[in-house]
Each structure stands twice: as structure tokens, then as C-alpha cells.
Structure 1
Amino acid sequence: MTQIKNIRILAMWAVLGLCLYSCKKDKDKGSDQVQLINFGPTGAKHGDTLRFVGTNLSQVTAIQFTGQAAMVEKSSFTQQTNELILVIVPSSAEKGLVTLKTPAGDILSKTSFNINVKTTASITSMTPAARPGENITLKGNYLNWISRIVFNQDKVVTTFVSQSLNEVVVKVPDDAQTGTLTITFLGTDSVDIETADTLRVALPLATGITPNPVKHAQNITITGTNLDLTRTLIFTGVDAPVTDFVNQSATQLVVRVPGAAKTGKLTFVAASGVQTIFNSDLDVSIPAIDSMSPNPVDPGAELTISGANLDLVSAVTFANAPAVTSFVSQAPTKLVVSLPIGVARGKITLGVLN
């Protein structure tokens, strides 16, 4: 009986020992896994030392930051032990998750790495002048952290043609105005930097007008530079700006003279609303009366008006009568019209082509 009891006790110890051995084996197997516990500081600057804390970190072969060419190889680690890795933050590192490279696979950080570019970001140069719609280039440091560029008068651009660590290319908005740019850099401590230089945005500039003098409803040809940037053209004496052109290019603008136009300056308005004024007057010819005969004249009789530019007249208005738009005859120096019935003594008004 005692012998059987001893055998049972030995069997129990054997089973217990097997369990302990199995558990130890599983534990040893689990201890080989690389584990990232934390890293920081997350608001480091480029060139700062970053600490990665975990277990079995000696198996890490490289650390991949977000950004182009932002991989730090094992050979470049400042320090590496099972529990700690020290690395220098590469200049191309951007905001994002960090990946630890190991033979068993990648380990992705649970939190994003951010960076402080406030004291290191800078603009060293930019394209000095451009037309609306053209690309300009800005150069400097950590330009890959730019989130937006604000042109004069709060014209915000958040999409860039290209962007890298030291260069950003951006399209000038159609309604941009001459002025400095304000650059916003992201990071744990974001910063706005205003450019030291002014971006000069091209405007339409007239250098000549032909013919001059000109008659109403006649086309004029304006020569100059950047005339294709003209959105509206303002004639002296005309309330509504002209927006419909006969022909338009960078060096030439052809437009019909409105009927209400008077002698005076031409004003060119760009998409930004900025105006440029041609320094010479546009001389607009208008009808002029020298004499009328017979005078006095009876209603229903013909009246001969003599003067200049009378071929521009489209209507003659008498006192107490509707406008007359059909003439007996018309020439540059003579206009013959039948007086309407009911006309009263008074002045006459000449309407011009419009």
C-alpha cells in the first residue's frame, strides 16, 4: 500500500515538473520579441537625440521616420541596448508614425512623431516677380513643413506644385497682389514667417492707343504689356466697365468705344481689383453743331443741322417731342431731319451711336 502511494506522489511531481518546464519554455520564447514601450521627446527638433525605450531593442536594424530619405540605419544609432536606442533626428524627418525595422517584421509606433521647427525654419530666397497663374519658387530650410502660403490681401494657398526639405514651388493665384508672403510652418510649436522680400505681381500696362482721336462705336487698339491680365476696362464717362473685348493678347487689346465715352483716361482693372491708368487721354470725337437752318422752322418742315462728326448721331430729340431716329440725310458735316408735329421751342439733344 505504501509503495503504491509513493508511486502516485512521484507521478504528480513528474507532471508538475513538465508543466513548469513548458511554461518556462513559453516564457523564454516570448521574451525574444521586440517591444516598443515609448519614445520621445515627440516635439524634438531636427538634429536632436530621440530615445526609444522597450525590450529586445538590440534586434532593431533600422528606424524609419516619415519623410523621404528619413531612414536611420543601425550603424548610425548613437546607442543601442536591449532596453534603449538613441538616434539623431534626421533633417528629412516629418510628422508621422515611426517604424522599427527588425528581422521578424516592422513595429509601428502607436503615437506620431512631431517636431519643433520654430527656431530652425527659414526662407532664404524666392522668385522676385511673376504673373498671376505662374509658378514661383521659395528656398530655405524645412520647407517640407509648410502647410500654407498667404499672399497679400489674405489669398491663401494650401496646395503646392512641389515641396521638399529646401524648396517649395507654388502657383500665384489669379487675384494675387504685390506684397510679402506669410509662410505657416507646422510642428509642435507652429510658426508664421513673413518673407523679407516683396513678390511683385504683374499688372496690365498700356503704352499706346490707335487711332486717337477716335469716334464712338469705333475699335481702338491698345498696345502694351500683360494686357491679357485686363479683366475690365473703364472709359471716362461710362458707368459700366467694358468686359467684352474684340481681341486680347499679352501685347494687344482691341475694344469698341462705348457710346457714352468721353475724352479722358483709360483704366485697366486686373483680377485682383488693382487698377493701372494709361498716362495719355483717349480723345473721343463727339458731334458738334455749328448752325441750324431754317431757324425758326415750322413743325413738319425739314431742318438742316451743320457741324462736325454728325455721322455719329443716332437720334435727335426736340423739346416736347419723341426722339427722331430716321433722318432725311446724314453726313459727317450735315444732318437733315424732319421736325415732328407738336415740337416746342427749345434746345435739341443729339444722341450718339452706342
Structure 2
Amino acid sequence: MKNVLKYAAIAALCLSAVSLTGCKHEEYDTDQYAGAVALSAVAPNPVMRGGELRILGTNLENVSEVRFAGGITVTDFTVTKSGDHGELRVMVPVEGPEVGKVSIVTKDGTVLESFADLEFTEPIEVASFAPAEVLSGDVVTVKGEYLNNVQEVILGGVYITEFLSKDRHELKFVVPCNAVTGYIIVGDVNELVDPNTIPNQIYSATELVVGDPTVNEAAKATYKSGEVITVTGAHLDMIQKVDLVGAAEVEFSVAEDGKSLSFTLPASATDGAITLTSYAGKTFSAGEIETVTVADLAIKSLAEDGRYKAGCEVEITGADLDLVSKVDFVNASASFYRDGDKIIATLPAAAKDGSVTVTLDSGKQAYTPEIEVVKPVATGVDKTEAVAGKDQVVVSGTDLDLVTAVTIGDKVQSFIPCKFTLNSAEEMVVTIPSAAYTGVLTLTADSGYETVTDEIAVSYAEPVSIVFDQESYELGKRITLVGEHLLQIDAIYVKGKKVVEYQKREDTSMSFSLPEAIASPGVYRLELVLLDGTELTWAVPFTVTAPFTETTIWEGSQIINGWSGVTFGDDRFVWANLGLKEGDVIKIYFTAPEEGWWDLQLCNGHWGNLSIDELDGGNEIKQGAFPGGTQTFSFNVTEGIAQSLMEDVGWGGAFIINGDGNVEVTKISLIQFGASETLVWEGPSAHTGDYALNQELGGEDDWVNAGLYEGAEVRIYFTPDDWSDWSIQIFDGHWNGMGYVTPNGSQWNVENTPDAAKNHYVSFIAEGAAYTALTTKAWWGFAIILQGKNMVFDKIVYL
């Protein structure tokens, strides 16, 4: 009689688990495992001699041998599960074991014994099988003993529970189509019906070899999606899946005789191999296919005038247009429908000149002849002079109904948007905004095509009148205005920063320095507050230029793909060491694919997202918003970005870029603005004492030789004994006093120049008398003469 052990019995046996580790009386460990080896149960019990015995317990990976009653020791076993819920499997020797306890020996020599005796039952024996090599549908005959007790046969994980015949000495079964090479395992329990019973399992001595199906490789042929493709061969029921280029795991059916399989060509499939994969994981080529694409494309406008104007319908003709799933004009996708064997598409407003592309689900594309879309054209204006915020300009032209935006000005000084009203396709009225400045009107269609008018000279009906003395100014140089009623100006702001240093304030002229916070070049506008509280922005912009230094943070070639973030630069302190500040610029050099989707996400060196003004507060550079190809992206460093990049969290790098789409990053750099210093004299000088030693520094021609220009800033670097008690007096190289360049007309000192302690220099502008004094040649003298209180002079420069 066959006995089986249920899991309920195993659970009961677990109550008798034996642990290796004890504990002292005063120490208690509530973890029953705690890293120790324990024997919980053995099953099946009774077990067949020559069969597989399972030992359940804890940390069984630390077992070195298994002992059976009768003095039999086995060291060849398999640990199938380790840790808290472990399992060890061992083959029971046919000869030797007796009824009795089963013991396991740990690697440290401790012996653990089962609670119950292990008993034995009738042994199923697999003596032989034939044939040794089979294919699906073949019959295998197994010879042995007690084969009438077999309830299942397992071949490489495939269960067989139906047999052609079965008696004590012989068992026959049919090889299923999903069988793979492996040992024949016979068991006394049908686990598909009774999964909770642990069977006795007996293994064959050798493996049953399962052969491969035969796949005939057909000649290359052309198919259209929806057509049926048939592959021939033998034993094709052994095929698990069919893969095509562009279509994985295609549904298929196999003929009853296994000599052919068929599938319907999916719309997404494209040219390439037919690949069959067997249940054994082997792949076979069934030949190549070529998929049909559309051909002989023609296109025409259905508009009455035959032109390709936004909104009109366009007819596309050709062969096999039923395969088309997408229609794209240059710069825009189109909606479409089918009219018999034709495609009717609506021309999008954003479409540009060029071929129309039709795309199939397979990814194949075809192209029509090129078309030229209708564009707006401005032919005239009713006036070329206008008052900002007051006047309107009538623009005449053709197809002006395509215009979706109007601006005045230029790209460098920024375009100013204008409101407009369309009277007809031939006429529109444009309102000149109060922020406008002299320039052309640019009319733009959704397609991006532009047309421009003659220049409109803009004047202003404002309480003040302002004219800049030049179009651009170097960073650090004063801004000079001329105009009318300038004393009505109470305050001037630039980008929200107040001007605090004026060199001149008169009703018809004014000079001032930019606020310190304006530290980078750009196009700026003056924000004015008048004495009566009126606030206005002067429309005419001015440009600030500056020399700059570009420092490479990282350079090389790095592909960004698969959303695997890349750290650029190992030094997380590089930003702080370079003196990163608001107004600096970070520049990313990269090459993006010309076609297809891509995306870059910019992060600090420890995965913090950056809030970038140029990306509307986001941090993504991606396809659609940016073109493909080799390019750069620059963004201004705000106070928040500077803090983020210089934050030290104890790990990370300089910069991280995450993204996808095979984008190549080649360089990351930091651009810092400001004129570089030109050295005129370098010390240190002798110590001055308390005005005890005159410092006659350099030669008479040093300023001219160094290229000093009028308007340059001269800096005198020094180190006093005490930053709370110092003063400096200045003379030109011929002992003529230059106290007029100092704040009080006599000297610099700690009271009138407190920033010197931070900057380590005092400075003045070399203009007018000061420039003349420094550059006049008298055939004797020095570059400059300085006196000071308890200090040394370090260097003299200009910028």
C-alpha cells in the first residue's frame, strides 16, 4: 500500500524542530531561527529506495552530510532553498538504509536528528527507456519495476499524466510537443491533481534527448499586411513562438500533421526574417519577407484656386493606400480620411513647403512630390511713423488671414508683440504698443513663415524723453542719457534692481552706473518711477556687453540613453571653487538625433532637478521644443540654481544629465562675465610706515605700454597692517596730486571706502584729467606715486 505525507503532517513535524543554538538562563532570543541550523521534517515518509527525500528546516545551506540509519552517509545532495524556510533534497541509496532516524550534520559538526523514523515503501525502478532520442509524437517505452505505481512523468518541467499503457514492468507515453531534453522523472503522485502531496520521484540514469523541429527556409517573397504566410517543415508543433521584424510573438496555428504553421501578417511587421523559436529555446529561420509599401504617389489641392493654403483639402493618390496610418506635412501632422482608394487630408496651418509623408504601421514611409504652401505677404503700410501706445498702422498685402502673430523690433533687442485686427485677407490694422521701439513689423503665420513691412519710426508721448548716447555699453561702464525733463525721474530700475550711483543728474543729461546685480551681458530696458509716482518702462532697449571666461567643467563623448543618468565631473566642489554666482551662464554642448524622440533632464550633482528660467521653470531639453543636430543650450545661473549646484550633501559630482534617445553630450562649461585685469605694475612694494616712505612705482611709459584707454577702471591692490586703520594718497608719476579721483578729494580711507577690506583694492576711472595725467610723457618720472599708512602695495591694474 502506498503511503503519502501531506503538508499538514509536515506542519506537525515542524513542532519538533531541533535547533543548534542554546542560550544561557538569563538570555532569551525570540527569533527561532537566529542564524542556526534546524531540522523540521523529512518527506515523503515512507520513501522509495532510490527516490528523492526532501529535508525541510532552517539554514540548511550549512549542512555538510546526511546520515541514514544503518550507517549510511551521503554528502552529495542539493539545497534548493536556503535561509529561514530551507529545503534540501537527497537521493536515498538503494542499498543500505534501514528504518530509523535521519540525521543532518552541520559544518561545525553538530548532529540534528529527525523526530520520526524514516520508513521505506515499494521502490519504483527505472531500468531503461527507448528510444534514446525522440521528437514530438514519438512513443517512449520505460522498463523497470513497480511502474504500475507511476502517476506522472516529468520531462524538463513538462508533466505527462496520460499513458498509452502501464503495468508493473513497462510504461509507455507519447512525447508532448513542449518536451525538452532532460532526465525522465517518474513519480507516484499526480501533482497536477494533488499539488499538496509530496511525491516519491525516481530519475532515469541518462537523459532523454528531444530533437529539433525541421523548418524549411523559403525564398524571399513580398506580402501585404493581412495576408496569410505559411511555413513548412516537420514537427512544427514544437515551435513556441513566431517573431517578425516589427512584430513579436505573432499568433499562429499548426496543422494537425505538424508539417506547416500559418499566421496573418500584422500591419506593424516590416522587412526581415521570420524567426521561429522552439520550446527548447532554439531559434530557426524560415526565410525573409518583404512587406508592401505604397507607391506611385501623387498629390493635388482641392481648393478652387489650386493653391495649397492652410485649411484646404488635399487629395493623395497611389497604390495600396489602405495601408497608410499617418499623413505628415513638413512641420505638421494632418487629419485624413479615405475616399475609395484615395486619401483626403486637411492641410494644417503649421505646414511648410516640401513633400508629404505617408507612414504605414510597419514604419515604412513614402513621399509625394514637393508642394509649396501659401504664405502671407505684406506689400505696404499706410504710415512709417507712429507714436507708441497711441497710433495704428494699416498693413496691406495678400493672404494676411494666415497671420497669427505680429511683432515690432528685432531679435537682438527682443521682439515686442503687437495686437492686430484682420479686416480681410488683404488688410490688417496693427496697434503700436507703448513698449515698441523703431523697427519693422514682422507678420508670422502658424507655419513659421514671416513677412516684414517697411521700418516704422516710433516716437513716444511720455512725460520724459530719453536717448542713449550709444547703442551698447561694456559691463561696468556708466550709462549716459540725453533728453528732456530727466529731473522728473525719481528712480531708475534695471531688471528690478535700483540704480544707486549717479555720476550726473541734469534735466537734459544723466549718467549712472548699472546696479551691482546686473553682472551679465544682455538687452535691458529702463524701468522709471517719476516724481508724481508714475511708473513706465522706456521702450527703447540698450545692450550691455562684456568679455567673458569660459571654463570647461567636463569634456568628452557620452551617450545619454535608456534613462540612465550620467554624472559629469567627479568634483562636486568645482562650482564653489570657481566662484559660481548669479548671472553666470552654464552651457551644454550636445548632438541630438535629427529624427525621433529624445529628451534630456538637467540635474545638480546629487540628482536635484534644476528650475531653469529658459525652460519655463523646468529642466528638460527635448525633441519638439529643440531641433536635432549639433547644438548648444545655455541658461543663466539664478540664485536658486547657484545654491542647488553648490549644496554639499556629502556625495555626488558636478552635474547630472538623465534622459533617453541616444543624445551625445560633448562638453559642459561655465561662462563668467567681467573684464579681465591688465597688469601695469606688480609688487609687493616696500612698507610705507605711517606715510614715512613714498612709493614711486613703475616707469613713466607703463600706462601707455599696457594699453590704458580713457574710461578704464584703475585698481590699486594693497595690504594694510590693520584693515580698521588705513589711508592712501595718490600722485601721478610726476608728483602732481590726483586727490580729485578719491571720494573726499584727498584720500581713500576706511571711512569713505569700507568695501576695500572685502575687495583688497581701491579704484578710480581714468578719464579726463586723470587719464591725461597718467599718459602724459615728461621724459622722467614713474607710472604712479602712492603714499599710505602702514601698508604695502601689491599690484596696479586696469580693466
Contact 1:288 1:310 in 2 (8 A): yes
Distance change in 2, residues 1:138/1:114 (3 Å): farther
Cα deviation, residue 266, structure 1 = 2.1
2:286 maps to 195
1:306 maps to 396
Contact 1:132 1:201 in 2 (8 A): yes
State whether structure 2 residue 273 is matched by structure 1 residue 216: no
- Map 1:148-159 to 2 at 5 A: 148-152=241-245, 155-157=247-249, 159=251
Contact 2:136 2:177 in 1 (8 A): no
Give the Cα separation in 2 of the matches to 1:171 and 1:245: 28
Distance change in 2, residues 1:220/1:323 (3 Å): farther
Cα deviation, residue 174, structure 1 = 3.7
* Range moving further from structure 2, 204-213 or 36-45: 36-45
Distance change in 2, residues 1:325/1:206 (3 Å): farther
State whether structure 2 residue 322 is matched by structure 1 residue 233: no
- Secondary structure of the residue aligned to 1:233 is strand
- Segments of structure 2 that go 5 or more residues without pairing to the other structure are 1-124, 146-162, 180-201, 410-414, 448-799
Contact 2:351 2:373 in 1 (8 A): yes
Contact 1:121 1:185 in 2 (8 A): no
Given candidates 282, 285, 297, the residue that maps to 1:207 is 297
Contact 1:206 1:222 in 2 (8 A): no
Cα deviation, residue 284, structure 1 = 0.8
Cα deviation, residue 178, structure 1 = 0.8
Cα deviation, residue 184, structure 1 = 1.7
Given candidates 441, 455, 464, the residue that maps to 1:348 is 441
- Map 1:17-32 to 2 at 5 A: none
Give the Cα separation in 1 of the matches to 2:403 and 2:296: 30
Give the Cα separation in 2 of the matches to 1:222 and 1:181: 33
Distance change in 2, residues 1:231/1:95 (3 Å): closer
Aligned letter for 2:286? T
Give the Cα separation in 1 of the matches to 2:340 and 2:131: 55
Contact 2:378 2:396 in 1 (8 A): yes
CA deviation map 1:201-254 (0-9, x unaligned): 233446111216401232222222344444443322x2xx52x62414783333
2:360 maps to 270
Cα deviation, residue 123, structure 1 = 1.7
Give the Cα separation in 2 of the matches to 1:46 and 1:338: 82
2:373 maps to 284
Give the Cα separation in 2 of the matches to 1:139 and 1:126: 12
Cα deviation, residue 46, structure 1 = 7.6
Aligned letter for 2:318? G
Contact 1:122 1:141 in 2 (8 A): yes
- Secondary structure of the residue aligned to 1:175 is coil
Distance change in 2, residues 1:43/1:95 (3 Å): farther
Cα deviation, residue 268, structure 1 = 2.8
2:421 maps to 326
Contact 2:405 2:417 in 1 (8 A): no
Distance change in 2, residues 1:156/1:40 (3 Å): farther
CA deviation map 1:13-64 (0-9, x unaligned): xxxxxxxxxxxxxxxxxxxxxx997642353248989655469xxxxxxxxx
Given candidates 162, 169, 182, the residue that maps to 2:262 is 169
Q: Greater CA radius of gyration, 1 or 2?
A: 2
Given candidates 345, 349, 354, the residue that maps to 1:255 is 345
Give the Cα separation in 1 of the matches to 2:269 and 2:211: 28
Contact 2:418 2:433 in 1 (8 A): no
1:122 maps to 215
1:293 maps to 382
Distance change in 2, residues 1:335/1:275 (3 Å): farther
CA deviation map 1:104-143 (0-9, x unaligned): xxxxxx99x977443x602254893334454322222222
- Map 1:52-67 to 2 at 5 A: 53=143
Aligned letter for 1:225? A
Which one has more relative contact order, counting CA pairs under 8 Å at least 6 apart? Answer: 1
Give the Cα separation in 2 of the matches to 1:83 and 1:235: 77
Identity of aligned residues (%): 20
Aligned letter for 1:181? I
Contact 1:245 1:253 in 2 (8 A): no
Give the Cα separation in 2 of the matches to 1:325 and 1:191: 69
Distance change in 2, residues 1:49/1:290 (3 Å): same
Cα deviation, residue 351, structure 1 = 3.1
Contact 2:322 2:341 in 1 (8 A): yes
- Secondary structure of the residue aligned to 1:177 is coil
Cα deviation, residue 350, structure 1 = 1.6
Cα deviation, residue 177, structure 1 = 1.7
Distance change in 2, residues 1:36/1:228 (3 Å): same
Q: How many residues align?
A: 273
Cα deviation, residue 287, structure 1 = 0.8
Given candidates 131, 156, 170, the residue that maps to 1:41 is 131
Cα deviation, residue 348, structure 1 = 1.5
Give the Cα separation in 2 of the matches to 1:166 and 1:326: 74
Aligned letter for 1:313? V
Give the Cα separation in 2 of the matches to 1:214 and 1:234: 14
Higher strand share: 2
- Secondary structure of the residue aligned to 1:173 is coil
Give the Cα separation in 2 of the matches to 1:44 and 1:161: 23
Contact 1:126 1:139 in 2 (8 A): no
Contact 2:215 2:285 in 1 (8 A): no
- Secondary structure of the residue aligned to 2:440 is coil
Give the Cα separation in 1 of the matches to 2:347 and 2:309: 7
- Segments of structure 1 that go 5 or more residues without pairing to the other structure are 1-34, 56-70, 73-81, 97-109
CA deviation map 1:67-100 (0-9, x unaligned): xxxx99xxxxxxxxx978999x9xx97457xxxx
Contact 1:286 1:312 in 2 (8 A): yes
Contact 2:327 2:336 in 1 (8 A): no
